[in-house]
Every structure is written in C-alpha cells, then in structure tokens.
Structure 1
C-alpha cells in the first residue's frame, strides 16, 4: 500500500492507538491494520468493515477491550447489492474451513467477503498493509483452505477458483495453471 507521508503517519497513529488497547489475540494486529486503513480512506471496505453495527462494536470491544471509543471514517463505501448472491457461496466456503477458535469465526468470514467485493488485490481491498498480512490472516483463520493454495495463487482468485470447483465449474481453459497464458494474472507479484 503506497501512501503519502502524512497519510502514512496518520495510518500508523491510528494503528498504534488501537494496539495500545489490544487483547493479545492473533487477529488484533490484522484488525487494527484494516481499521486504521478504513479510517484513512484506504482499501475498499464498506461501513463497519462489512459488519452490522452491533457486530462491529462487539468485535472491536473483544479485540480492543480498553479502547474508549471508535472513530468513524469520513467517507463511507457500501457493498454492491448486485453481487450479494456470490457472497453466500463465499461465506459457505469460508465457514467450512474456519480454523480460528473463538468469536472471530463470523467476523473474519464477513470481513473477507466484504473485501472480495473490491476491485483490487484482496489484501489492498481489505486495507491490509501487505500480501503477507493476508496470507497470515488466511493461515491463522482458514488453515484448511489456505493449505490448498500450494502454488501461492493470488488469494481472491484462489477463493473464487475454489468456489467454482466446488460447484463443478471449470472456467479455466488450460489443462494446468503452469501452461496458462494468464498465469501471471493469477500467480504474479502483487506488491
């Protein structure tokens, strides 16, 4: 994520403030990065990171129990309602492979679904700071699914490929990824 120096400073300030109030859970860092980015207008996350307000408040209270109040971003994005049917399939895929114990199950599923509605790389749409953050999110929260990404396919493409294969839909024309003309689009660098 490339930001202007002032924006980077504000992003870091929001992040540091949140981390002073963290619970100590493995997702605290990732949620703090997404929330700080959301406050700074980065990424493609909709209102409350895609969660209903009461659920968002519960998540923030769980991960940052001593945080006195939550700021709200000045620019609000909304989910594209025309794409809601695909969210059900994505939710099903993610719920089937959630591996993180505790209340994060539903929260991370919904946040990932909202991030998939963006038009950039998933880590950028989520407001994470690198693809490495997204890989950690996937491995920590969706380990059985993440383990299937043996060739390090871009995460959003990987998730949609898994949904298609689960439905018996094979849209790729190549016999294998390695000989596909679109190989770079699926496996190339994202930074």
Structure 2
C-alpha cells in the first residue's frame, strides 16, 4: 500500500494487532450485519481484559489501507489502558496518531472508534458480540448512474463512428457522469491526464463540444482521494504485450482508471458509475484479460486487488488460506460474480 503518508503506511503495514483473539472478553463490530456484509466497509475488534483494564486488542478490517491504519492506531491507543480511557478514544485521537487522515477518510476512524466501544460493551455483557451503531457512510450501495442520467443520456445519444466499441462508450459515459458529480479533474477522478481524457472524449463523443468536457473535468469541490501507486503498478503488470491503439480506451488507461476509482469508498463498479457489477468484469476482460483470468475464483475486484498487494508484501489479509473454507467468504465474493 502506497500513496498514503509514511505514518499511515507504517500503521497499515504493521501486523501486530491484526487477527482474531482466542477467548476474547469482548467483541465489537460495525458493518457485518446480515444486510451489510460485503456491501460496506466493516471492522471487528477483540479485547482481553483484567478487571477494568484492557490488556490486549486485536482487529479485523474489511476495507482500504486507511481503515486498516485507523484500526491499528485505535488498537495501539486502547491496549494497556482502562476501559474508561478506551471509551474516550476519539476520531481526533486516531487522526493525530496517524499524522492526519484525508477528510473523506475520517469515516475510517469513526468505524474504529465505534467498533472498539462495542467491544468494551461486549466485555461488560460477559463476552457478548456487540454491533456498533454508526450511520452508513455515503458509499453508494446501488448504481450512481442510470440510463436516464442527464449527462449519460447526452453522451450516449450523440453520434460517433461505427468502429467505436459500444461497451467502452457506455463505460466512459458512466465515468464522465460520476466524475462530474465528484467535482474533480481527470487526474484525480480517473487517474488520467487532461489530455488523455480529452483525446478519449474526441474519439468516443466527437459531436459533443469540448467545452462540455472542460466543464466536467473542472475541479469544483475538495474531494481529492489519493490514488495508490502500488495498485497502479500491480494493474499495469497485467497489460497485454500487444500494441495499444492511440486515443482509444486501453489496458493502460483502464488500469489507471481502476486504481483511481478503487480509492473511492464502496463497491468499485458503483464508484465507476456502472449500471451493474457484471459490466466491470466485462470491461476488465476486454482490456486486461490476464487480470480477469487471475481472478478465476470470482472475488470482488477491489478485495482481489488488495489481496494481491498484501500477498506480494508477505502480509495476511485473509482468515483462511482456502477461500471456500473461510467464514468471511461473503465479504469477498458475490455469488461467483466479481
């Protein structure tokens, strides 16, 4: 994991507090309810106590590197302190310990705080597993863009040359719609330079004035999210050896787009503005066939990406080495469809 500050990276890569805790006196979790599993960022904390003292803390995080780092910082703050002190741990304390989270990632600290407090509540209820109560982050569980979206409709109804792949045109129209909503330039929203974005626009939507493209790519709000260079590197490793056509959507451009949108909360297909999950797999199959083949078990794509990075670094992201035997299976898979 990279693209994070060195301090956040140190916490995200530190395995000391990661994992389950046998004989835990309290277990607290957020985002793992029956209707939530696999649909949102989730966190689980385990604590061992002696009287009112918290002696050991472990956690499991089902989210991005910021979530892992926030949980690691929370665990460090909580271990070897009193329960009352644990209950006073705040988002601000975690943020300070990490040297500053991006504003749009404060929610990761909120998750850690709530799950940790739930674990304390569990210890006070004789080891009961307690679910924390935290309002769902605006991570768009369903499609952000539909066929009647004004910008999508404008782009798809415009003329283009007959040799343009309709599915790629649809993908770029969806991405343009969410990029406009995010209010970020293409460098942030899509991981592309302005020139790359304009070149794609001129080829796929030649009848739409470039002023519209400029308006869409203009940054209006502060919603920047750091793209993970390590994820970019991973995805670029799957680029086909064949020559890539200029001014068309390619494996290289898609790799940058995937990395940029993966930095957003929630499901990757939703962050890309697609109508349904299967469209993401189809796009990867078209432009990054080796990547598609590598995910032969059908793991959710964002989960698959970070599992690959974790394994390259010798880390352990999973509870079980065999996916089918893992109790967290449904967090990573969606009925066999990535």
User: In 2 relative to 1, CA 2–21 (structure 1 residues): closer, same or farther, beyond 3 Å?
Assistant: same
Describe how 1:140-155 pairs up with structure 2 within 5 A: 140-155=286-301
Larger-gyration structure (1/2): 2
Contact 2:264 2:271 in 1 (8 A): yes
TM-score (norm 1): 0.78
Contact 2:225 2:264 in 1 (8 A): no
Q: What does residue 273 of structure 2 align with?
A: 127
Q: What does residue 31 of structure 1 align with?
A: 172
Matched, 1:13 2:153: yes
Higher normalized helix content (fraction of residues): 1
Contact 1:11 1:37 in 2 (8 A): no
Structure 2: which 5+ runs fail to align? 1-141
SS of the residue corresponding to residue 315 of structure 2 reads: coil
User: In 2 relative to 1, CA 124–46 (structure 1 residues): closer, same or farther, beyond 3 Å?
Assistant: farther
- Range with bigger deviation, 54-63 or 21-30: 21-30
Count how many residue pairs are aligned between Structure 1 and Structure 2.
Answer: 181
Instruction: Tell me the distance in 1 between the aligned counterparts of 2:207 and 2:257.
Output: 22
Higher normalized strand content (fraction of residues): 2
Structure 1: which 5+ runs fail to align? none
User: In 2 relative to 1, CA 181–118 (structure 1 residues): closer, same or farther, beyond 3 Å?
Assistant: same
Matched, 1:79 2:224: yes
User: In 2 relative to 1, CA 55–11 (structure 1 residues): closer, same or farther, beyond 3 Å?
Assistant: closer
User: In 2 relative to 1, CA 24–162 (structure 1 residues): closer, same or farther, beyond 3 Å?
Assistant: same
TM-score (norm 2): 0.47
Please tell me the root mean square deviation across aligned C-alpha atoms, in Å.
Answer: 2.9
Deviation at 1:102, TM superposition (A): 2.0
SS of the residue corresponding to residue 8 of structure 1 reads: coil
Q: Which has the higher contact order (CA 8 A, sep 6+)?
A: 1
